């Protein structure tokens, strides 16, 4: 039997349909998990949504109600809980995970906090050609933040409690790193050789065999405005080699710090004037180099979308969001402006570095400290896929149900799209 490959256009349509899983479920016969082609339509569902117009109609869909998925209620909007995720495990398999509804189980502790928020997540490995379930498991997790990071070799990282686990297509898990306290976040550099972790630890925490250590030789002064350690606990930021667990940098910070890194070092910004910022690369080998400048009325955020390409997210004087892509020498490759009504953005990069996806909530009015938004203000969710080289938009899509913590826009590992 000859294997059929998807064209880029077919793949865009498939990705769009998978992102709108719940909508596809309602149109399919209950109990079936096979792909079904969508009937021709004059418009894509949601094309008239306030979130915008989809540039391609869905080509295929997988019914998910038979898999046990139900859309989260609107009460969760704005809380940024990770309630579902959809990722490529490899070229031919998807990893679909979602919260299992039911009673919330809490540990018997004097003070209940986010670390005792026990809940269950169902994980399913789905065959891309048929939609059939190849493996399944139920995970017990202990907070509502992002729990999955996909690797490019058919594996993934699962964050829970003070442990980082690694899994594969069988959904078998093994612990790879333990931390002296709850692991709050995990990020990877574009090459996936390094990890950036934030963990909450007692100030006088001792280490045990197998724990991630904090050698003084790896200490660094990473500072973020307005963040201070508490009296009893501290947030510890580390950069580690993913394979060996060797610590390259450790810093004590007041709260979670998203530290952008590549294989050379990590980025920090320095304010020059009210609207001008220097972008510095602090090398792992020592020393710091200014690689570029950006203008922004707010503190810009940075992310490596390729080993030698940085995306800066800032603000302009009209209150809109600005995206500026620049190379390793600070040359601005392209710029894009996003309306102030698109909030809580999240990004995903293709493994090839050719494309990047940006998703955000669409609300009815711009927000600031005096005008926060509520779930009633949420009008929808939009995703745009950009060409990383020139900023051209290759695909626009809307999502249903709205998930304000992202996780629903996967890239195929070896594809351009």
Task: Give me the pLDDT at residue 186, please.
Answer: 94
Q: Using 70 as the pLDDT threshold, list the residues of the chain that sit under it.
A: 1-54, 58-59, 102-116, 204-233, 368-370, 405-417
Give the pLDDT confidence score for residue 386 in this predicted structure.
Answer: 92
Q: What is the widest separation between alpha-carbon atoms in the chain?
A: 65
Cα dist from 270 to 227, 279, 280, whole Å:
16, 7, 8
- Identify any residues that bridge with 306 across adjacent strands, giving them in sequence order: 309
Give the model's pLDDT for residue 155.
Answer: 95
Half-sphere exposure of 122 toward its Cβ, with a 13 Å CA cutoff? Answer: 15
Q: What is the pLDDT of residue 33?
A: 38
214 closest CA partner among 232, 192, 197, 194: 197
CA distances from 341 to 78, 232, 322, 382 (A): 14, 39, 13, 11
Residues 181/162, Cβ–Cβ less than 8 Å: yes
Candidates 88, 157, 19, 53; CA nearest to 349 is 88
- Strands (E) across 353-404 are located at 355-363, 378-387, 393-398
- pLDDT attached to residue 413: 53
**Cα dihedral value 361, 367, 368, 373, nearest 10:** -80
Q: What are phi and psi of 45, to 5 degrees?
A: -55, 130
The SS3 assignment for 22 reads: helix
Contacts of residue 85, Cβ cutoff 8 Å, sequence gap at least 6: 95, 96, 97, 98, 147, 148, 407, 408
Calpha distance 229→181 (Å, rounded): 15
**Closest of 2, 46, 30, 25 to residue 396, by C-alpha:** 46
Q: Structural domains in the chain?
A: 8-398 (2.130.10)
Token digits of residue 150: 């996909």
């Amino acid at each position: 039997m000859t294997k059929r490959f998807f064209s880029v256009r077919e793949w865009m349509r498939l990705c769009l349909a998978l992102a709108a899983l719940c909508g596809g479920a309602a149109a399919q016969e209950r109990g079936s998990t096979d792909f079904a082609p969508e009937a021709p339509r004059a418009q894509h569902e949601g094309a008239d949504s306030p979130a915008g117009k989809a540039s391609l109609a869905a080509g295929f869909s997988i019914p998910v109600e038979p898999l046990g998925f139900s859309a989260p209620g609107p009460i969760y909007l704005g809380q940024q809980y990770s309630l579902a995720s959809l990722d490529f495990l490899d070229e031919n398999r998807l990893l679909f995970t979602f919260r299992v509804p039911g009673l919330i189980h809490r540990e018997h502790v004097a003070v209940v906090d986010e670390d005792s928020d026990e809940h269950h997540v169902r994980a399913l490995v789905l065959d891309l050609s048929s939609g059939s379930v190849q493996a399944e498991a139920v995970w017990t997790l202990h907070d509502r933040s992002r729990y999955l990071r996909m690797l490019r070799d058919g594996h993934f990282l699962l964050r829970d409690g003070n442990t980082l686990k690694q899994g594969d297509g069988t959904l078998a898990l093994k612990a790879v790193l333990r931390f002296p306290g709850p692991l709050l976040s995990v990020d990877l550099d574009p090459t996936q050789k390094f990890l950036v972790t934030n963990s909450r630890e007692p100030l006088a925490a001792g280490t045990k065999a197998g724990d991630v250590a904090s050698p003084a030789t790896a200490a660094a002064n990473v500072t973020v405005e307005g963040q201070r350690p508490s009296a009893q606990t501290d947030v510890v930021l580390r950069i580690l080699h993913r394979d060996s667990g060797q610590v390259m940098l450790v810093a004590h910070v007041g709260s979670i710090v998203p530290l952008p890194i590549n294989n050379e070092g990590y980025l920090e910004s320095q304010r020059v004037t009210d609207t001008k910022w220097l972008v510095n690369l602090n090398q792992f080998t020592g020393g710091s180099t200014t690689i570029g400048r950006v203008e922004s009325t707010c503190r810009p955020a940075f992310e490596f979308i390729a080993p030698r390409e940085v995306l800066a997210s800032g603000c302009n004087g009209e209150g809109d969001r600005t995206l500026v892509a620049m190379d390793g020498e600070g040359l601005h490759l392209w710029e894009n402006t996003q309306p102030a009504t698109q909030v809580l953005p999240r990004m995903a990069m293709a493994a090839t570095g050719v494309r990047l996806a940006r998703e955000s909530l669409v609300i009815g009015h711009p927000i600031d400290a005096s005008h926060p938004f509520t779930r009633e203000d949420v009008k929808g969710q939009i995703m745009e896929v950009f060409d990383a080289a020139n900023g051209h938009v290759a695909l626009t899509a809307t999502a249903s149900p709205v998930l304000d913590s992202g996780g629903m826009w996967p890239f195929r590992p070896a594809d351009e799209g």
